[in-house]
Homo-oligomer: A and B are copies of this chain.
Amino acid sequence: MAAAVEDSSNVSEAYPMTGGDGPNSYAKNSIRQKLVVDAAKELLTKTIKQNLDLDICLPCDTFHIADLGCSVGPNTFLSVENILEAVKFEYQSRGLSSQIPEFQAFFNDHTLNDFNMLFKSLPRNRNYYAAGVPGSFYGRLFPKASIHFFHSSLAVHWLSRVPKDVTEKTSRAWNKGRIHYSNSGDEVVRAYQAQYSEDMECFLHARALETVHRGLVVLTLLGHHNGDSHSLGNVTVDILGSCLMDMARKGVVSEEKVDSFNIPSYCVSPQELEVIVERNGCFSIEALETLVYHVPEHGAKRSASTMRAATEGLIKQQFGEEILDELFSLYQQKIEEQISIFESKKSVIFFVVLKRKTN
């Protein structure tokens, strides 16, 4: 029997990046994310050189790439282009130029992602066939053993949902006065950890079925170093939370709404990730290293725009559209006041390479 496709819409919340190409859009405000794509390019090329078996796309002779959490561009196109070029280069350098396959790239994100914008901005002279795939990457998206190379850049820190306990007043994990586990109590951290672990199990279970044997899954992930306290946290999210609390004190938003609002993202440690991958059992970890990237100082205004493009969907849902301008203007102001702390606390990003075992 053909497997019934799981309906991921029931189990996963959607918080797409801001669509379109307006001044607040993700397309216009994802320059930081592009720096990560650029920084990962060299590692990606090395990974393909060291870990890719070129015969995996036989017998069908098309190389299938999927970018998970692609959003609306342009970074997703750069990633796909980097992968494609590195794969082609390997064929050439191994004397197999005549066997270079055709490429098909699948761009995946939540159903509510702005695919119209994505498709309109597809590069004109691309060397691959393009398709959009709607749905949560915590469920099945592709047929069995059909993808040779999965890629995801700065997307798998988004949880499938806010951990239930942190929103419940009666729970010991109730996250009052905060919007994240960062700098919060242990119970809150544990609730986030449990959700991440559960989500990554679903993620790896689905990818294990979809990846061809000896195929690769390459992820760049927001993380934290082994042993680092969660109180180090994410300074940007902390600042956003404090802005919302300020607005609650002024009566612009209700305190209750802030208490029940939580950003569904988690920064994993290498140790945690290793445990999850080993428990899944279908992948070997070929690399797990810290990504070295350079973020030029580009000031509070651009930082506020980047944050807005990534979170305004979530915030709108909880507080309504009308608070957005005030919130992000306050956010920008706070970043300006703390610019030196802000710029010294660079996010930790891991570059992870998983290879599908042959079982």
Interface positions of A (Cβ within 8 A of B): 1-5, 7, 9, 59-62, 88, 97, 100-104, 106, 111-112, 114-116, 119-120, 122, 124-135, 140-146
A127 touches B62 (CB 8 A): no
Q: Which of A5, A120, A135 has the most CB of B within 10 A?
A: A5
* Contacts A115-B116, A133-B131, A134-B119; A104 near B1 (Cβ below 8 A): no
B116 touches A129 (CB 8 A): no
A132 touches B134 (CB 8 A): yes
- Alpha-carbon gap, A114 to B102, bound state (A): 27
Chain A interface helix/strand/loop/mixed: loop
Residues of B with C-beta under 8 A to A141? 129
Chain B nearest CB from A83 CB (Å) reads 13
6 cross-chain CB contacts under 8 A: A9-B124, A115-B119, A119-B134, A130-B135, A131-B131, A131-B132
B7 touches A127 (CB 8 A): no
A62 touches B146 (CB 8 A): yes
Residues of B with C-beta under 8 A to A112? 120
Name the residue on B nearest A7 (C-beta): B124
Residues of B with C-beta under 8 A to A122? 111, 134
* Contacts A62-B144, A146-B62; A1 near B100 (Cβ below 8 A): yes
A125 touches B62 (CB 8 A): no
A59 touches B62 (CB 8 A): no
- Alpha-carbon gap, A166 to B88, bound state (A): 46
A142 touches B2 (CB 8 A): no
B143 touches A62 (CB 8 A): yes
Shortest beta-carbon contacts, A-B, top 10: A62-B143, A119-B134, A131-B131, A102-B143, A132-B132, A115-B115, A131-B133, A60-B60, A111-B119, A2-B100
Name the residue on B nearest A6 (C-beta): B125
Chain B nearest CB from A57 CB (Å) reads 10
Name the residue on B nearest A19 (C-beta): B116
A142 touches B5 (CB 8 A): no
Name the residue on B nearest A102 (C-beta): B143
A5 touches B127 (CB 8 A): yes
Residues of B with C-beta under 8 A to A3? 102
A120 touches B116 (CB 8 A): no
Residues of B with C-beta under 8 A to A144? 61-62, 102
Given contacts A4-B125, A62-B144, A130-B133, 15 further A-B contacts (CB under 8 A): A1-B100, A2-B102, A4-B127, A5-B127, A7-B125, A9-B124, A59-B60, A104-B143, A111-B119, A111-B120, A115-B115, A116-B116, A122-B134, A129-B133, A129-B142
- Alpha-carbon gap, A211 to B306, bound state (A): 44
B140 touches A129 (CB 8 A): yes
B7, B97, B129, B142: the one within 8 Å of A143 (CB): B129
B2, B103, B106, B130: the one within 8 Å of A103 (CB): B2
